[in-house]
Structure 1
Amino acid sequence: MTVLHNPVIRGFAPDPSLVRVGDWYYVATSSFEWFPTIPLHRSRDLAHWEYAGHVRGAAPGDSLAGVPDSGGIWAPSLSWDGERFWVVYSVVRSVGTPYFDTDTYVSTATEVSGRWTAPRRVRSHGFDPALFHHEGRLWLLNLQNDHRPGGRRFAGIVLTELDRETLNPVGDTHLLLQHERLVEGPKLLWREGWYYLVLAEGGTGFEHGVRVARAHALTGPYELDDRPLLTSRDDASLPLQKAGHGELVQTPGGQWVLSHLTARPVRTPQGPRCTLGRETAVQAVAWDEDGWPRLPHGGWHPAVEVDVPTRPEPLPAPPTDSPPEPSPRPLAHPDSLLGWPWSTLRAAPDPSWADATSRPGWIRLRGRHGPESRWAHSLLAQRITEHRAEAEVTVEARPDTFTQAAGLVLRYDAEAYLSLDLTWAEPEGEEQRGQQWRGEGRTVLRLVERDEAGTRTVAVVDVDAGAPVTLGVTTDGAEARFWWVRGGVRVPVGGLLDFGRLSDDHGSRLRFTGSMAGIHAVDLVDAEFTADFTGFRLICR
């Protein structure tokens, strides 16, 4: 046996959908407003995971411009029909309204790291769709959303058969189950005469959980298990919180495992804060004598350390008329400076960012909209994966107006970020009254914090115009401190900042992503100002 340590995919990797194909396990996770769309990871032992590509083209038109924070691509469901991979997902264009305004799409590929078909829209009852392949037929599961005043926004789980080639609906849509507690994220499996419906229960916060229902007939009626399969809602001291949104998978040796999301909060005077977002975890599962799935260590609390098989058992020889199992190609890590683990907002990175400069190892960003835009960003960011982290980068730029800036940013979304930027300011002692248009002024580092109450300048530091400057930030739990390098020495900029505001749990808005560290450039007037960056590093420990 091998002992895995949860979370197995750390930092902003929510809503994991797990599938096994031969000796390999694959996981798809939500990407929301970020690119690459639908990151994919793979493992042979469930303990050690590596990036395996993404569903390229999942966003129609390769753009999510205008989608709100924490909108975009929710809860992809990955499956395998014996010949190809399928992924179904919703693009959510309204957050915090009764409508959600979802479009649900299906795409397929013969290899996860290969070419995915152009997304095709299918019925969009709500978010959290899934596909069930059974006896040569294809079924679409979905949450039903009732947007009407007085309606139940989570109005049950529905099932529709789809034609495998056209993806058009076949027959009626069936209501499988309704429950007084919020249920979503349905997954179906067939085992020993039962159809098992695996549900996310209680919302995606600290009340989250996994509940199972079952029926002898596909369309029901379904009976709910009288207890959760997994939750941490009854014990705030557990290191893994928000445990829910699960999927059951059988190993080659016949054992069962459950993938699920979880979060590791830090404790603050304002309450727990999950600055890393929701992450991917795996639990072992056994079946009790009554045919219900259970955690073998007892109860329903997620375990940090889990025993899993060390090596896959040999698979039985497939029937001669079965297609051969795919042999995954070596991972195609981009040789560009802009590949994983970099992410961008609402669109893929502009290729010119990597090759617009003749300086090897440098990235040049051309400034566009500001950090609160939902349209056109010049930003590259990486996931923060541990509660102690340090990011550093050297930037060279020549801003000559306050509408130009470039620097280092900690970002959750448009209303939660911290940035230390190289920019322009009026001469010392002169009132801030807009651009002076006289060629005067100074080059400064401006530290800004943004939360739901607005944007505030924390500190301003003069630096040499035109000279490269190294910027850095250190996070420890719910605290962040920025600094810059002068004469080889780190000089703090401002004091300790509240990193806990960059979390799922701060404020009253729905938030579903995670904190990122990255670089950005802004030019609000001409979109021509450029900044060169090198030496970016993010160390999480």
Structure 2
Amino acid sequence: MIRNPVLPGFNPDPSFCRVGDDFYIATSTFEWYPGVQIHHSRDLVNWALVGRPLNRRSQLDLRGNPDSCGVWAPCLSYADGQFWLVYTDVKRFEGNFKDAHNYIVTAPSIDGPWSDPVYVNSSGFDPSLFHDSDGRKWFLNMLWNHRTGSIGGSPKAPAFDGILLQEWDAASGKLVGPVTNIYKGTSLGLVEGPHLFKRKGWYYLVTAEGGTGYGHAVTMARSRELHGPYETHPHQHVVSSKDAPEAPLQRAGHGQVVELDDGKGGGSTYLAHLCGRPLPGTLRSPRGRETAIQKCIWGEDDWLYLEHGGMVPAVEVPAPVAGVEPEPRKPIRRSFVDCPALPPEFQWLRTPEPDRLFQLTGGALRLTGRESVGSWFEQSLVARRQEDASFRAETTLASFAPDTYQQAAGLTHYYNRHKFHALVVTWQDGIGRVLSILSCPGDWPDNRLEFPLAEAIKLPDIGPVRLAADVHGVALQFFADWGLGWRPIGPVLDASVISDEGGRGEHGSFTGAFVGMLAFDTSGGARTADFERFDYLPK
């Protein structure tokens, strides 16, 4: 069985691609660097991260991009003996404008090398590339209309002004011919995330509608002609949890279809889509928007339906090959001693110049204190996704010698600049090296920093400090050990605010929670902090 979500934690907007017996899913990374996650599977049950292709300055520079901007909704395809990756770099979130720039990169193998990007357009986000059977290529993206009241976390349907189609001339590297608005969406509104495929003479258009929250849906339309007109699915939506608040997989939407080949001209059909798992009793999803897979069937009317019926996504669905079991969740322990490269689960924020943020010294992961926690430019934060409702994260801060309160290093449960908790080693006049807690609990729009620890805890002037975060659903408790054993530090904090819906609400941000190591030095002194290990322990 396929057990959903197949990609737990922040893995939204899946683009589903099959090449022979290999399956790939590309997902959005937003402000996290390098850009675009690509996972691989041969059975649709177990998936492994195989790359983040946008990993150099010539391809992507996110410095200055606001929270929840950056790389939105990639599209991965294979044609003409190479992989094609289409992506958006969104430079603005607040206000009426989006400033969404679309690019294409290619590679002969999923491992690369990936080309420098070719600029396509900026008329809207969520681009995709359709390779027609006659060899022509067509570029799609949603059209953004800035002449509305759709700002920030309050999306309005008129801003999502339909799906554009235009021919892409790969030889000249530019769009050619007329632009056609082929689909305006349904009454649900907010049409985006277009993907085209062809079957039995029909052009099928799969789109996302209803926003990124609890009204999300996968919508389907079709036409005998590429340019339309497109008729909408008799049920409008193929997948949605919008009318099933009790379903374990919520926020279901933004999908793409893959058909398998059974060697006889047919095969089963699967649809990858995003979903969210809110904490029980809440409408908050710290794990963000995750990726799930549903098995589908084609009706006699040549429309696609979920095999188990209805539109609500299932947690378990049959895999293509029987007898394949999902690998169990297991602890991941990482030592940075003699570590040749940053372990693959870790990312950092925005910059294509990571050497200014961190280095592997052979004995530690050394973070260089740069700008403040939450900076949109140079923030020294190396973190991994929260994949479980309950977990423990531990790190050893082997060496850090602050001499001003402007210097701090430690462990953080982080979403963005106005949603994070951090247990840090810092300096306090008259005491010396101390433990402190910094918290920004989503107090939108003020984003005020709080200090939940009533009195800073004195530490030895030198020596390692072990730091831990225990998260149990909505509750976060920090712990520390500086040679006297583990002890709780500070009050229990609200872990649920480190979520898509925390702070300004479900459409205000849409990535996911991370846990990791940080350092900052707002004095400009670039004080370094050495981390010896980092463990992520699911509960």
The reply to whether TM is greater than 0.5 is: yes
Give the Å deviation of 1:276: 0.5
Give the Å deviation of 1:488: 5.0
Task: Name the counterpart of 2:143.
Answer: 144
Deviations 1:53-79 (A, max 9, x none): 111347646421000000000000111
CA contact (8 A) 2:359 2:367 kept: no
Task: Name the counterpart of 1:400.
Answer: 403
Task: Name the counterpart of 2:364.
Answer: 362
Give the Å deviation of 1:338: 1.6
Give the Å deviation of 1:348: 4.3
Give the Å deviation of 1:97: 2.2
| Distance of 1:93 and 1:80 partners within structure 2 | 28
Task: Name the counterpart of 2:313.
Answer: 302
CA contact (8 A) 1:338 1:354 kept: no
Give the Å deviation of 1:336: 3.0
CA contact (8 A) 1:57 1:116 kept: no
Give the Å deviation of 1:165: 1.7
Give the Å deviation of 1:226: 2.7
CA contact (8 A) 1:45 1:311 kept: no
Task: Name the counterpart of 1:438.
Answer: none
Task: Name the counterpart of 1:455.
Answer: 449
Which has the greater radius of gyration? 1
Matches within 5 A, 1:262-301: 262-268=275-281, 271-301=282-312
Q: Secondary structure of the residue that 2:500 maps to in structure 1?
A: coil
CA contact (8 A) 1:184 1:200 kept: yes
CA contact (8 A) 1:56 1:115 kept: no
Q: 2:461 aligns with which of 465, 487, 490?
A: 465
* Counterpart code for 2:404: T
Deviations 1:272-299 (A, max 9, x none): 1100111111000101111100001110
Q: 1:442 aligns with which of 404, 427, 432?
A: 432
Matches within 5 A, 1:115-514: 115-134=113-132, 135-149=134-148, 152-179=158-185, 180=187, 181-227=189-235, 228-253=237-262, 254-268=267-281, 271-310=282-321, 336-348=340-352, 350-351=354-355, 357=361, 360-395=362-397, 396-427=399-430, 441-453=431-443, 454-459=448-453, 460-487=456-483, 489-508=485-504, 510-514=508-512
Paired-residue identity, %: 39
Unaligned runs of 5+ in 1: 313-333, 428-440
| Distance of 2:393 and 2:16 partners within structure 1 | 31
Deviations 1:260-319 (A, max 9, x none): 001111034xx311001111110001011111000011101100001021189xxxxxxx
| Distance of 2:300 and 2:168 partners within structure 1 | 35
Q: Secondary structure of the residue that 2:496 maps to in structure 1?
A: helix
Give the Å deviation of 1:337: 3.7
Q: Secondary structure of the residue that 1:343 maps to in structure 2?
A: strand
Give the Å deviation of 1:350: 2.9
Task: Name the counterpart of 1:325.
Answer: none
| Distance of 1:353 and 1:95 partners within structure 2 | 25
Q: Secondary structure of the residue that 1:106 maps to in structure 2?
A: strand
| Distance of 1:463 and 1:506 partners within structure 2 | 33
CA contact (8 A) 2:219 2:239 kept: yes
Q: Secondary structure of the residue that 1:152 maps to in structure 2?
A: helix
Q: 1:410 to 1:375 in 2, by over 3 A?
A: same
Using the size of structure 1 for normalisation, the TM-score is 0.89
* Counterpart code for 1:470: R
| Distance of 2:424 and 2:386 partners within structure 1 | 20
CA contact (8 A) 2:476 2:494 kept: yes
Deviations 1:469-524 (A, max 9, x none): 10101101111100101445211111110011110012226211111011011111
| Distance of 1:378 and 1:213 partners within structure 2 | 45
Deviations 1:142-171 (A, max 9, x none): 101111247921000110001022231221
| Distance of 1:368 and 1:221 partners within structure 2 | 54
| Distance of 2:50 and 2:360 partners within structure 1 | 28
Task: Name the counterpart of 1:436.
Answer: none
Unaligned runs of 5+ in 2: 150-156, 324-337
CA contact (8 A) 1:158 1:174 kept: yes
CA contact (8 A) 2:356 2:368 kept: no
Deviations 1:236-283 (A, max 9, x none): 111100111000001122110000001111034xx3110011111100
| Distance of 2:528 and 2:214 partners within structure 1 | 43
CA contact (8 A) 2:475 2:496 kept: yes
| Distance of 2:358 and 2:143 partners within structure 1 | 44
Task: Name the counterpart of 2:334.
Answer: none
* Counterpart code for 1:347: T
Give the Å deviation of 1:526: 2.5
Identify the range of structure 1 (13-22 vs 458-467) with the bigger mean alpha-carbon deviation: 458-467
Using the size of structure 2 for normalisation, the TM-score is 0.90
Give the Å deviation of 1:112: 1.3
Q: 1:526 to 1:198 in 2, by over 3 A?
A: same
Give the Å deviation of 1:137: 0.5
* RMSD (CA atoms): 1.8
Task: Name the counterpart of 2:329.
Answer: none
| Distance of 2:384 and 2:254 partners within structure 1 | 24
CA contact (8 A) 1:371 1:414 kept: yes
Give the Å deviation of 1:373: 0.9
Deviations 1:219-243 (A, max 9, x none): 0000011311000111111110011
Q: Secondary structure of the residue that 2:283 maps to in structure 1?
A: strand
* Counterpart code for 2:378: A
Count of residues in correspondence between the two structures: 501
| Distance of 2:538 and 2:522 partners within structure 1 | 33
CA contact (8 A) 2:251 2:276 kept: yes
Q: Secondary structure of the residue that 2:313 maps to in structure 1?
A: coil
CA contact (8 A) 1:54 1:113 kept: no
